Structure 1
Amino acid sequence: MRYVDPVFAGPTDPTVVRDGDRRLMYYTSRRANVPGLPGHSWVFGTPIGMAESPDGVTWSYAGDAVIDIPGEDLTFWAPEVVVHDGLGHMFLTVIPGIHTDWGHDGAIVHLTSTDLRTWGDPRPLRLATDRVIDACVLRLPDGTWRLWYNEETSGKNTYYADSPDLFTWTDHGRAIADQPGEGPNVFHWRDRYWMITDVWQGLAVYHSPDALTWTRQPGTILAADPRGHHADVVIDGGRAFVYYFTPTGDRTSEIRRAELVLADTGTLTTR
């Protein structure tokens, strides 16, 4: 599978959810093919693109998500979407302004939707600092929810917070801090919790019995050129598929899919 955004040619940070018989994919739509944008401004001012698929393999462009957040020149990154009791919840990185360099304040904002296209009622989360990006949300066995995110002032460590209802969150600080990374994604599969993070040399893999204590497996996955970045994992029929983006040029990118495999040694790999 290879998906390229037909408008800006720079899809990154995918997240995939089911909507009835179809799958919906949301992604950061970097403005990779827009000429004359100075510095890093092509990764700011970005909308959230959408694609749809009947099978998770063949994808068709479905326009942009409609994000109702007050303000001008807003940057939207790294959407995380979950559907619970018929309501869609998006946890979106929002950065004020369009910048030519990195290192600006960012918030994770919770929005809701009844149709999975139009998102409103924005509520910024109160987390560890004012420089946070890349949310991931998972429901735990007791019915509560846990959110992992990248806290940038700590050297890009992964932090976490808990919620009873997806609206009220309590921050608990660091989850992992063995090396810088971003885009944490957590899923439960084969009797373990797994976390993957983008460490820019492929994806680091961690496992845990309780989603609290994490053990790093040696090396990285999807490390060969072109490398995998900022991924989402979908469990489908007992199989696990990782959706990730990879560069195709100086600015352009595409989204790909690989299947995860658990070796007899307990090591997670791809095929």
Structure 2
Amino acid sequence: MPSITSAWMAWSWKNPRPPAAHPENIYQYSHKSEINIHTMKTHILNAILILAGASVLPHSAMAAGGEPAKALPKTAYLFSYFINNGEDGLHLAWSTDGLNWKALNGEKSYIQPVVGESKLMRDPCVIYGPDGIFRMVWTTSWGGKTIGYASSKDLITWSEQQSIPVGEVDQTGNCWAPELFYDDATKKYLIFWSSTIGGRFPETIDGGDGNHRTYYTSTTDFKTYSPTKLFLDPGFNCIDTTMIKAGGKYHVIFKDERSKPVSRKDLRSAVGDSATGPWHDVSEAFTRKGVEGPSVLKMGDEYVVYFDGFAGGGYGAMKTKDFIKWEEQSTKLVVPPGTKHGSALAVPGKVIEKLLAHDVKP
């Protein structure tokens, strides 16, 4: 284990020191003493972190007033979301407890949409692949046959955006809220989304607000894609499907989109033995009405489902251990202003550190 002296020297060598205290600098530094003390505290803290084998904190991870914030844990949490109508692109927030989310990049977007029928970036779903690459899909338009795709190594610099034509049938009216899921059983990425396709499921055409089902395609390289297939049909109009693997089973969470004869607009779940179903044991609603856009995050032995309270009540969350019994978490949840349908994921703490460092403005 390195000594405190060697750790201090290792850190200091890589970081600029204040200029020597020549007489002409005394006045300047007397007016910047608070900044110098802040910098010194950062150096000392990082020397300690090096000794402990932990990650070094950027200046932006320091709490207000120059007091050091807690060191970021090995695993932290990231939330992708959009605001307004999705015109300005991807927004990100971070958290260490999954409940208190802080906006990154000064609440500004990281990437602006340039593909798709309406060039929007709604419902951004980001996953962290086994190859260490972040991949994102999103809704490009209220009506159309495409979804957007891009990838990044650091969430700051993104690849060229692609418009993926997943609506293969002429009667496809929309492709909403696409999600990505890496299936470790087949080593393929699944992309699934909700569409109303004219002429299909005539028995539920009177349910109101479209007649959606969830469809999917798969890929290994994001260059070629399998033919579109039906992913989820719970027997009624549904949108905003998300999925997680838990206890050897696959669980889907989705929105009941029916508005007739009784308005539902709540979240339900189903379970399957593979990442493509078939799905069974469709649950009753486990949320209030007027919510959509679920995203599920594993935290310890619990699972938290976040949702967008589009009809009022703000963003909400429920937690469970078994996808049967649910506990309300909405009153504990804090998200950035204007947050709309996004996705939550676990990431290495160093990913957040780099994003925080990027937040520092000259």
TM-score past 0.5 threshold: yes
Note closer, same or farther for the CA distance 1:67–1:121 as it changes in structure 2 (3 Å cut).
same
1:200-211, aligned counterparts within 5 Å?
A: 200=257, 201=264, 202-211=266-275
Q: Is the 8 A contact 2:136 2:180 kept in 1?
A: no
Determine the C-alpha separation between the residues in 1 that align with 2:154 and 2:308.
Answer: 26
1:178-205 C-alpha deviation (Å, 9 max, x unpaired): 1111111011112211111111431121
Determine the C-alpha separation between the residues in 2 that align with 1:203 and 1:133.
Answer: 16
Any unmatched runs of 5+ in structure 2?
1-72, 199-210, 258-263, 328-362
Matched, 1:119 2:158: yes
Matched, 1:59 2:106: no
Matched, 1:79 2:120: no
Q: Is the 8 A contact 1:183 1:230 kept in 2?
A: yes
Determine the C-alpha separation between the residues in 2 that align with 1:123 and 1:188.
Answer: 28
Matched, 1:105 2:144: yes
Note closer, same or farther for the CA distance 1:218–1:233 as it changes in structure 2 (3 Å cut).
closer
> Of 94, 97, 115, which aligns to 2:140?
94
Structure 2 counterpart of 1:79, one-letter code:
P
Q: Is the 8 A contact 2:250 2:273 kept in 1?
A: yes
Determine the C-alpha separation between the residues in 2 that align with 1:191 and 1:70.
Answer: 37
Find the counterpart in structure 2 of residue 231 from structure 1. Answer: 294
Find the counterpart in structure 2 of residue 261 from structure 1. Answer: 321
Matched, 1:47 2:110: no
Q: Is the 8 A contact 2:306 2:318 kept in 1?
A: yes
Q: Is the 8 A contact 1:128 1:171 kept in 2?
A: no
Matched, 1:138 2:159: no
Cα displacement (A) at 1:72: 10
Find the counterpart in structure 1 of residue 226 from structure 2. Answer: 170
Determine the C-alpha separation between the residues in 2 that align with 1:71 and 1:159.
Answer: 19
Cα displacement (A) at 1:65: 2.5
1:14-33, aligned counterparts within 5 Å?
A: 21-30=75-84
Determine the C-alpha separation between the residues in 2 that align with 1:58 and 1:218.
Answer: 29
Find the counterpart in structure 2 of residue 37 from structure 1. Answer: none
Any unmatched runs of 5+ in structure 1?
1-18, 31-42, 96-102
1:237-263 C-alpha deviation (Å, 9 max, x unpaired): 2321111111464xxx6322221232x
> Rg larger in 1 or in 2?
2
Which has the larger share of helix?
2
Determine helix, strand or coil for the equivalent of 1:74.
Answer: coil
Q: Is the 8 A contact 1:69 1:120 kept in 2?
A: no
Note closer, same or farther for the CA distance 1:190–1:72 as it changes in structure 2 (3 Å cut).
closer
Matched, 1:198 2:261: no
Cα displacement (A) at 1:60: 1.0
Count of matched residue pairs: 225
Structure 2 counterpart of 1:89, one-letter code:
R
Determine the C-alpha separation between the residues in 1 that align with 2:189 and 2:154.
Answer: 22
Determine helix, strand or coil for the equivalent of 1:153.
Answer: coil
Q: Is the 8 A contact 2:123 2:177 kept in 1?
A: yes
Q: Is the 8 A contact 2:250 2:271 kept in 1?
A: yes
TM-score relative to the length of structure 1: 0.73
> Of 195, 218, 225, which aligns to 1:151?
195
Runs of 4+ in structure 1 off by over 6 angstroms are none
Determine helix, strand or coil for the equivalent of 2:99.
Answer: coil
TM-score relative to the length of structure 2: 0.56
